[in-house]
Amino acid sequence: MDDGGLIKPKVVMTRRILEPGPSIISQKCDLYVREERKPPTKQELIELVKDADGLLCLLSDKIDRDVYDACGKLRVVSTYSVGFDHIDVEEATKRGVYVCYTPGVLTQATADQAWTLLMAAARRLAEADRYVREGKWDIGWAPDLLLGYDVYGATIGIIGIGRIGQAVAERAKGFNMKVLYYDTVRREDLERQMGIEYCELESLLERSDFVSLHIPRTKDTIGLINEDNLKKMKPTAVLVNTSRGGIVDEKALFKALSNGWIFAAGLDVFENEPTTSDNPLLKLPNIVVAPHIASATHQARSKMAEVAAMNLVNVLEGKDPLFLVNQDVKKVKPLDKVKMI
Ligand code: DGY
């Protein structure tokens, strides 16, 4: 197709994302897709991106000062995720690099997964599945076989009442649950609209039958769920984490689950990803795990692809992206100076 002789911006995608992501970008840019499924090494990432104008990355690509140093032309980093703790945003802003993300479109999928883990942990589903498959079910129906805890009518404590926390709360209402929440900013509007109750972290941990985490990983949230806080929870409680690894201290969680400080846990995320089979947590019966797949539905991942691609193309066209992390970057480099298409 005749492009009028214009040089197209060079864009690198560190892994192939779902359509329509690649199509949206390749209509306007010279797109290179790295086809491997494992994350690139730092050196490989730098080699890939050194001449790029735009980068579409995943949450497992660490975008730090070294990457910006080596990639002097970079104008936009668009992450295929709502979380952006893998990107040094402050450094990007200083250098006039736009950082974009994909909030909203994975809210419902992630809330569904929090509930999947919550129910599975409460009713020991993974353990029950193994029990049947491994031929251990030799007693027929039994009064005390694999007893769990009621979800209906229980109390759920939601840590972080952003989009996903709210979506989890909405579902809890269908289970006739009391909903407590803790966040750094109190949301009296939501308290009125949704009938939820604010409480301090300590009291939330003490009162909840289920605790679900919906906060980003920041210097303030790393290790938030530590030994002290796990000890405050009920011995019958279930902890669910679909947000980020590292917010729950895994060593402390191991102690909590093996010593009966809490009943069970459901984790979609880990301190180090991918976690390996020698992670002591995986030896415990009372934990149900998933490989960071909370947003992994066809619908959510396609929509994320569309948003991530549009974010990137918009910036290179000198237009506002759909979702910009670093608003201040516009003061450093206004969009008309970023425009290439
Ligand atoms: C995100 O987007 O940050 C999730 O962790 C994965 O979709």
Q: Name the pairing type of β-strands 155-159 and 210-213.
A: parallel
Q: Which residue has the least CA distance to atom 2 on ligand 1? A: 81
**Catalytic residue status for 292:** yes
What is the spatial distance between Cα 244 and Cα 215, in angstroms, rounded to a whole number?
A: 8
Tell which residue, 109, 36, 80, has the closest CA to residue 308.
80
> What is the residue-averaged pLDDT of the chain?
97
CA angle 234, 239, 241 (to 5 degrees): 160
Q: Round the CA-based radius of gyration of the chain to a whole number and report it.
A: 22
Q: How far is CA 18 from CA 21, 265, 300, 304, 336, in A?
A: 6, 31, 10, 8, 30
The domains of the chain are located at 2-105+298-338, 107-289
Strand ordering across the sheet containing 238-241 = 197-198, 178-182, 155-159, 210-213, 238-241, 264-267, 287-289
Q: Is 82 in the pocket of ligand 1 (CB under 6 A)?
A: yes
Tell which residue, 325, 154, 328, has the closest CA to residue 240.
154
For residues 212 and 166, is the Cβ–Cβ distance under 8 A?
Answer: no
To test the pocket of ligand 1, the residue of 61, 100, 106 to mutate (highest count of ligand atoms within 8 Å of its CB) is: 106
Q: How far is the CA of 136 from the centre of ligand 1 (A)?
A: 37
**Domain 107-289 in the same topology as domain 2-105+298-338:** yes
Asked if the model's pLDDT at residue 204 lies above 70, the reply is yes
Q: Is 326 in the pocket of ligand 1 (CB under 6 A)?
A: no
**Catalytic residue status for 244:** yes
Residue 102 CA, closest ligand 1 atom number: 2
For residues 325 and 83, is the Cβ–Cβ distance under 8 A?
Answer: no
Q: Is 213 in the pocket of ligand 1 (CB under 6 A)?
A: no
What is the spatial distance between Cα 107 and Cα 110, in angstroms, rounded to a whole number?
A: 5
Q: Is 17 in the pocket of ligand 1 (CB under 6 A)?
A: no
Q: Is 81 in the pocket of ligand 1 (CB under 6 A)?
A: yes
Q: Is 59 in the pocket of ligand 1 (CB under 6 A)?
A: yes
Percent of the chain with pLDDT over 70: 98
Asked if the model's pLDDT at residue 5 lies above 90, the reply is no
**Catalytic residue status for 298:** no
Architecture of domain 2-105+298-338: 3-Layer(aba) Sandwich (3.40)
What is the spatial distance between Cα 309 and Cα 101, in angstroms, rounded to a whole number?
A: 10
Q: Is 87 in the pocket of ligand 1 (CB under 6 A)?
A: no
Q: Is 211 in the pocket of ligand 1 (CB under 6 A)?
A: no
Write the pLDDT tens digit of every residue in 36-91: 999 999 999 999 999 999 999 999 999 999 999 999 999 999 999 999 999 999 99
| Residue 31 confidence (pLDDT) | 98
**Catalytic entry in 124, 244, 250, 271:** 244
**Mean pLDDT, to the nearest integer, of 225-246?**
98
Asked if the model's pLDDT at residue 241 lies above 70, the reply is yes
Asked if the model's pLDDT at residue 4 lies above 60, the reply is no
Residue 300 CA, closest ligand 1 atom number: 7
Write the pLDDT tens digit of every residue in 153-193: 999 999 999 999 999 999 999 999 999 999 999 999 999 99
Segment 198-207 long-range contacts (CB within 8 Å, at least 24 positions apart): 199/157, 201/159, 201/229, 202/229, 202/232, 204/157, 204/159, 204/180, 205/157, 205/229, 205/232, 205/233, 206/232, 206/233, 206/234, 207/155, 207/157, 207/180
| Residue 7 confidence (pLDDT) | 87
Q: How far is the CA of 295 from the centre of ligand 1 (A)?
A: 6
Could you list the beta-strand ranges (E) of 65-216: 76-79, 98-100, 155-159, 178-182, 197-198, 210-213
Write the pLDDT tens digit of every residue in 210-221: 999 999 999 999
- Residues 6+ away with beta carbon under 8 Å from 185: none
DSSP string, 277-306: TT-GGGG-TTEEE-SS-TT-SHHHHHHHHH
Q: How far is the CA of 83 from the centre of ligand 1 (A)?
A: 6
Q: Which fold has domain 107-289?
A: Rossmann fold (3.40.50)
For residues 245 and 59, is the Cβ–Cβ distance under 8 A?
Answer: no
Q: How far is the CA of 281 from the centre of ligand 1 (A)?
A: 22
| Residue 1 confidence (pLDDT) | 46
For residues 62 and 272, is the Cβ–Cβ distance under 8 A?
Answer: no
Write the pLDDT tens digit of every residue in 250-294: 999 999 999 999 999 999 999 999 999 999 999 999 999 999 999
**Cα end-to-end span (Å), the chain:** 16
* Reported pTM: 0.96
User: Cis peptide before 274, with omega less than 30 degrees from 0?
Assistant: yes
CB environment 151-176: b (16+ within 10 A), e (fewer): beebbbbbbbbbbbbbbbbebbeebe
